[in-house]
């Protein structure tokens, strides 16, 4: 006997609900796992990306007869030496700023309390009482900060351990890169060998170009920020400019987040409204330069990720892994897009992640020029 139509519909609904439940449960368990072991995973992820970054140097040495172990060690030690030199140079520049930091904090609190006191007078409050309240609360906040020192020390220790492990992971990824490639070839079969090799090569090219481009943009912004802050007359131009530039490792929000540092310094410490307005104008200009000139021409469209998914990815990654997640999400989205674009049934997802179909609506110099050219032609 054939089953009744009502029973068939019930079974289909039950099977669909079961599939959805299992998928949702899998996603929840996956998120729980990567949150729980994030201190273990993110150093490996950074090691993976940095290994791609320095791979061309190690590979160049190896092609010239240097044994792989020695080539990897020379490359990693060379990179660490360069980073240590840059750190020492930066430390010498930042030392005066850090020495004055306690006085700057006190001055900022005093200026902030005075500003709020003056503002409270318009609402019928006593400005002196408001200033005393703000100073007292700020002092209590600073004193209560000692309660968080142990947690901060623990977090710092984990960070130091993670940074210390990264050279080890980089070395392992470089040393075993051939073994990992053969593993993937065995995993996906001889019939997919050409496709797998193509994916790996494309990932390598995109990662190297993207990371070199981002580092170059940050270096250029260190100069532009410091020079701009010096020109508008704000003190500690180099420390503030370099600090603001390092936020640009975070896409889209980097310049705005970095601009908050000199903005707050000018507003609270200097207490100068005109100087604060100059900072705002400066970073609006820098934001335009970075988005429309520096990043398009230096980084280019290497990652080819839809800005919507970069922004939502940044928010989601910050919720899962914090700042490390925000730094990692863009290159890993690029890797996903590359993989999806080489798998037939995943190509729609690659299209969704990519920039195809929206490039003509992007606000950049090329599209602005084309817009005005069309307007001029239409008039004549």
d(CA 244, CA 197): 39
Q: Any residues with CB less than 8 A from the CB of 295 and at least 6 apart, and which?
A: 213, 217
Write down the pTM of the prediction. 0.74
* pLDDT band, residue 176 (cuts 50/70/90): very high
Q: Which residues have a Cβ under 8 Å from the Cβ of 167 and sit 6 or more positions away?
A: 76, 80
Tokens representing 3 are 């089953």
Per residue in 74-97, pLDDT (tens digit) is 999 998 898 888 777 777 766 666
Residue 322 scores a pLDDT above 50 = yes
pLDDT 10s digits, 26-52: 888 988 888 888 888 888 999 998 998
Question: Which residue is listed with tokens 């142990």?
Answer: 150
Cα torsion 373, 374, 379, 380 to 10°: value is: 70
Residue 16's pLDDT band, with cuts at 50, 70 and 90, is confident
The pLDDT tens digits of the residues spanning 96-126 come to 666 555 666 666 666 666 565 555 555 555 5
Least confident of 1-10, 14-23, 138-147, 201-210: 138-147
* Rounded Cα gap, residues 305 and 164, in angstroms: 31
**Cα dihedral sign, 40-41-44-45:** negative
Mean of per-residue pLDDT scores for the chain: 79
Residue-wise pLDDT tens digits, 50-70: 998 899 899 999 999 899 999
Spatial distance between the Cα atoms of 283 and 291, rounded to a whole number of angstroms: 12
Total residue length of the chain: 380
Of 280, 331, 333, 281, which is closest to residue 309 (Cα–Cα)?
A: 333
């Amino acid at each position: 006997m054939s089953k009744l139509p009502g029973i068939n519909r019930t079974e289909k609904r039950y099977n669909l609900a079961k599939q959805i439940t299992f998928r949702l449960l899998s996603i929840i368990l996956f998120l729980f796992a990567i949150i729980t072991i994030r201190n273990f995973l993110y150093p490996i992820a950074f090691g993976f990306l940095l290994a791609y970054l320095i791979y061309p140097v190690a590979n160049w040495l190896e092609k010239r007869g240097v044994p792989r172990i020695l080539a990897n060690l020379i490359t990693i030690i060379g990179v660490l030496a360069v980073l240590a030199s840059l750190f020492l140079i930066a430390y010498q520049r930042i030392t005066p700023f850090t020495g004055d930091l306690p006085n700057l904090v006190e001055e900022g609190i005093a200026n902030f309390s005075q500003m709020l006191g003056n503002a409270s007078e318009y609402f019928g409050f006593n400005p002196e009482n408001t200033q005393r309240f703000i100073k007292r609360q700020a002092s209590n906040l600073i004193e209560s900060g000692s309660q968080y020192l142990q947690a901060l020390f623990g977090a710092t220790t984990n960070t130091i351990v993670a940074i210390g492990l990264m050279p080890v992971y980089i070395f392992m990824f470089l040393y075993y890169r051939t073994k990992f490639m053969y593993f993937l070839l065995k995993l996906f079969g001889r019939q997919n060998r050409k496709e797998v090799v193509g994916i790996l090569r494309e990932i390598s090219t995109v990662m190297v170009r993207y990371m070199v481009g981002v580092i170059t943009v940050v270096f250029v912004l260190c100069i532009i920020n410091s020079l701009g802050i010096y020109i508008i007359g704000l003190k500690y131009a180099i420390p503030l400019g370099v600090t603001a530039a390092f936020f640009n490792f975070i896409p889209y929000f980097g310049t705005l987040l970095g601009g908050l540092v000199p903005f707050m310094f000018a507003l609270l410490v200097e207490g100068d409204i005109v100087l604060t307005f100059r900072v705002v104008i400066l970073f609006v200009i820098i934001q335009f330069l970075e988005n429309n000139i520096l990043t398009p021409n230096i980084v280019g469209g290497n990652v080819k990720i839809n800005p919507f998914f970069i922004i939502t990815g940044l928010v989601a990654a910050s919720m899962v892994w914090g700042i490390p997640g925000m730094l990692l999400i863009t290159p890993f989205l690029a890797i996903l897009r590359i993989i999806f674009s080489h798998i037939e049934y995943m190509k729609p997802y690659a299209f969704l992640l990519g920039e195809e179909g929206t490039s003509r609506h992007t606000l950049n110099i090329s599209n602005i020029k084309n817009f005005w050219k069309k307007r001029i032609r239409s008039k004549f």
